[in-house]
Amino acid sequence: MGAKGDAPQTKPHLLLYYSRSQSLDRDCARPRVVEEVDPLGLRYSADDFTVSESVDASHVFIETRLDPPSLQAAAATKKGYRASLAAAVARGTSRCFTHDVAVTLTWIISEERRYQTHIVADLDNVLKPTIDALVGPDSVLIDDNQVQSIEASWHTGTTSHHGGFWLRVDSLGIGNFIPRGGRFVEITPGRCYYVPVAPPEAQRKYVDQLVWMNRERAKWEAAGHTEGELYHLAPQSRPFPRARLARFEVLGPDEFG
């Protein structure tokens, strides 16, 4: 619970639903399989994914005819999947999300596999490897904690005659889907902000504003004001923890301009 007077905060949520109402067979006597078996011996490639971005709508769309691996899949399988999807995203996009996003996953799977086998991953287990593949300097997310909302479903009985999934990432704000290539400034220990690509003098002014706003906010906090009271005094930019930016360039305020 926040301090008294805090403004209501939107909390991340996970919405999972099934496309049919009948229940799945949960035979507890059957041995649990923790790794999905791929009878075709498929291997992932960047060419397996179609990736597009919409600048005006601030979203990224990914489509493939291959199933996503589960969280319990072999390490080599997940590593290959993440590398292939990351390469496809880097090739198909030029921008990144600098604030919170919503993720929508639709998994297409045959009725026979979904209802009559027990080796197919559960819906919640395929989300983590896929989201992890979208994080990095050459991808569309800076940190997976940008994902504020997830909607996931699987569907059977489609006319496509193939499996796979669709994934859509949408910005939850305006102006937060911008060209990649920026750097981070560490304003206070562990507290960093993304500095967009711009001429040096523009970056210098932007960093100066971030420094000033954080300094003034710290004064109000020291005077006993709550986070809710100071919400609109914070920079519109989203802060990121320094510990999550190992693959990004992070500079001090005096190193800009």
Single out the residue of 56, 62, 140, 145 nearest to residue 107, CA to CA: 62
Q: Round to the nearest angstrom and report the end-to-end CA distance of the chain.
A: 41
Give the separation between CA 197 and CA 98, rounded to whole angstroms.
13
Which part of the chain is CATH 3.30.1330.70?
13-20+29-178
Give the separation between CA 149 and CA 209, rounded to whole angstroms.
30
User: Which one-letter DSSP state was computed for residue 72?
Assistant: T
CATH of domain 13-20+29-178: 3.30.1330.70
**Up-side HSE of residue 163: CA atoms within 13 Å toward CB?**
13
What does the pLDDT profile of the chain (257 residues) look like in tens digits? 444 444 444 444 444 433 333 333 333 333 333 333 343 345 889 999 999 999 999 999 999 998 888 888 889 999 999 999 999 999 999 999 999 999 999 988 876 666 665 656 677 888 999 999 999 999 999 999 999 999 999 887 655 556 899 999 999 998 999 999 999 999 999 999 999 999 999 999 999 999 999 998 889 989 999 888 887 777 788 999 999 999 999 999 999 97
